Structure 1
Amino acid sequence: MKTTKAAKSTPVKPVAKKAAKKAAQKATAASGKATGVAKKATATIKKAAASKKAAPTKTVAKKAAPAKTAASKKVAPAKTVAKKVAPAQPAPKKAIVESHAALVRRARRINRELAEVYPYAHPELDFENPFQLVIATVLSAQTTDLRVNQTTPGLFAKYPTPEDLAAANPEEVEEILRPTGFFRAKTKSVIGLSKALAEDFGGEVPGRLEDLVKLPGVGRKTAFVVLGNAFGRPGITVDTHFGRLVRRWQWTDETDPDKVEAAVGALFPKSEWTMLSHHVIFHGRRICHARKPACGACPIAPLCPAYGEGETDPEKARKLLKYEKGGFPGQRLNPPQSYLDAGGIPAPPLGAG
């Protein structure tokens, strides 16, 4: 009986060991899983903590951004101020305040002084008769008188009368007039003008304003040049120089030639209109230039409200003077000494001091 019990009890131990091993393995696995879960939980906590700590940094960065914006806003006005200061220029000259009677006196005195400087002022176009003068004046548009004077001798030698020019071949006339510029339009004008003279006025240039302005290419300016210099009938020639100078002298602020003519004509006796035009145009071509007038060498500096717009140094100003080739009889190259003091400086300009 003992032998049988021993035989039966012997295999019980291995089973118990196996069960114990399995239990141990399960316990180990469970503990491993717990450990893993714990590690994951710990990592998650750490990440959460890290994110919580980092979050304020982002918030701070966002808060810091407005500081830059504020700084830029503070700097912006400085740039704006710089832009306002940069284009600063001298204040424009104020218009002089004078009565109409004072304006008339000043304007007439300017004309008298210019007459002393340019005693032989005249139309600078070469002509021998009214026909040549009206043709030359039409050709002078958009070119110089010198260029016209170089061109018209050949034209008049070939076509001496209105009848000759009216019957001319346009292509031949264009070749002659080419140096004056806009030669096609000018050819059309002078041929049309000549036909009108031949057909309507018996080949003669009319001596009335209302007849002259009906001719092709002839406006009031050309008509007054012809009336004043070919017929001795007073007229004001409002060309580019004349309009520019009378506005600079504040005789008028009109820009339309007809209105300029009326405004300036009211300041002078009609008998002075033609020579007034010559004086002003001569002065505009020689001293009172458009871009850089020679103020320091100007004989009417004391009467000019625009004194100082150009060069005021006498020596530098004299270098700006311009004169046509050959000048003209009696032309005076320097301003009258009555306008210069002992040091060669122009008298104080109008309104100074």
Structure 2
Amino acid sequence: MTRAERALIVSKILGKHYPETPVPLDHKDNFTLLVAVLLSAQCTDERVNKVTPKLFKLADNPKDMSKKTPDEIYKIIKPCGLGPQKSRAINKLSNILYESYDCQVPEDIKALEKLPGVGHKTASVVISQGFGHPAFPVDTHIHRLAQRWGLTRGKNVKQTEKDLKKLFPRDSWNQLHLQIIFWGREFCQAQQCHGISCKICKATFPKRSSPFSHKKP
């Protein structure tokens, strides 16, 4: 089976199972989305959604957030992990948005990547889920699934992103990114499916009988 054939199988199964793909992080605009995505690094969306109501009650726009100290922010976001770094990043990026972007989140991935605490993956999520521009955010979870399903041999998320963008139509990237996340959480968990149990793993590699060995990013 070719990589393109496996991609078609993946697309069909995901499309049938997840016709709707709501954004998993609660937000009301692109600034609150940006902060929520930043907080989600090495943290579950569920925990982020429990923390952000308190944070956005404190401040829900760049101007107000820029006036809060990292310590004030840290007291709220501590449960998300990496609190000191994240609180400083939120404070600094809020200052930049307030002073240089008229409190608007830039609609440009390169500009987003220059903000404190915002890497390529976070910027890609904001561009796709916030602005609706085609992007394919790849984290370690999507990297793991893409390997299991034979969609990439990339040893890192950067190469996996390139491979996935070549395999799938550009207008499907935003939805497909979320569909893969949802499937991984529900059916193809790291320590349960092992590349041999879920419907997609069975369909893409019907003869695989032993746990798949991943190339770590």
Task: State if a TM-score over 0.5 links the two structures.
Answer: yes
Give 1:255's aligned amino acid.
Answer: K
1:121 aligns with 2:11: no
Task: Give the CA deviation at 1:297.
Answer: 5.0
- Preserved contact between residue 113 and residue 300 of structure 1 (Cα < 8 Å): no
Secondary structure, aligned partner of 1:266: helix
| 5+ residue gaps, structure 2 | 212-217
Equivalent of 1:259, from 159, 174, 180?
159
1:219 aligns with 2:135: no
Task: Give the CA deviation at 1:202.
Answer: 0.9
Q: Which residue of 2 is the match for residue 248 of structure 1?
A: 148
Q: Which residue of 2 is the match for residue 143 of structure 1?
A: 43
Task: Give the CA deviation at 1:280.
Answer: 1.0
1:189 aligns with 2:89: yes
Q: 1:222-301 to 2 correspondence within 5 Å?
A: 222-293=122-193, 295-298=196-199, 301=202
Task: Give the CA deviation at 1:305.
Answer: 5.6
Give 2:50's aligned amino acid.
Answer: Q
Task: Give the CA deviation at 1:140.
Answer: 0.5
- Preserved contact between residue 111 and residue 279 of structure 1 (Cα < 8 Å): no
- Preserved contact between residue 124 and residue 135 of structure 2 (Cα < 8 Å): yes
Q: For residues 307 and 165 of structure 1, do their structure 2 counterparts lie closer, same or farther at Cα, with a shift above 3 Å needed?
A: farther
TM-score by length of structure 2 reads 0.90
Aligned-partner Cα distance in 1 for 2:161–2:72: 37
Aligned-partner Cα distance in 1 for 2:144–2:170: 21
Task: Give the CA deviation at 1:225.
Answer: 0.7
State the aligned residue count.
Answer: 210
Q: Which residue of 1 is the match for residue 214 of structure 2?
A: none
Secondary structure, aligned partner of 1:107: helix
Greater RCO, CA 8 A, separation 6+: 2
Q: Which residue of 2 is the match for residue 304 of structure 1?
A: 205
Equivalent of 1:208, from 108, 131, 142?
108
TM-score by length of structure 1 reads 0.57
Give 1:303's aligned amino acid.
Answer: T
Q: For residues 123 and 239 of structure 1, do their structure 2 counterparts lie closer, same or farther at Cα, with a shift above 3 Å needed?
A: farther
Task: Give the CA deviation at 1:300.
Answer: 5.6
Q: For residues 299 and 248 of structure 1, do their structure 2 counterparts lie closer, same or farther at Cα, with a shift above 3 Å needed?
A: closer
Task: Give the CA deviation at 1:103.
Answer: 1.8
Task: Give the CA deviation at 1:216.
Answer: 0.7
Aligned-partner Cα distance in 2 for 1:106–1:297: 14
Q: 1:1-353 to 2 correspondence within 5 Å?
A: 98=1, 102-293=2-193, 295-298=196-199, 301-304=202-205, 307-309=208-210
Q: For residues 263 and 236 of structure 1, do their structure 2 counterparts lie closer, same or farther at Cα, with a shift above 3 Å needed?
A: same
Amino-acid identity (%) = 35
- Preserved contact between residue 69 and residue 91 of structure 2 (Cα < 8 Å): no
Q: For residues 218 and 193 of structure 1, do their structure 2 counterparts lie closer, same or farther at Cα, with a shift above 3 Å needed?
A: same
Give 1:249's aligned amino acid.
Answer: W
Aligned-partner Cα distance in 2 for 1:211–1:248: 33
- Preserved contact between residue 143 and residue 157 of structure 2 (Cα < 8 Å): yes
Aligned-partner Cα distance in 1 for 2:117–2:124: 14
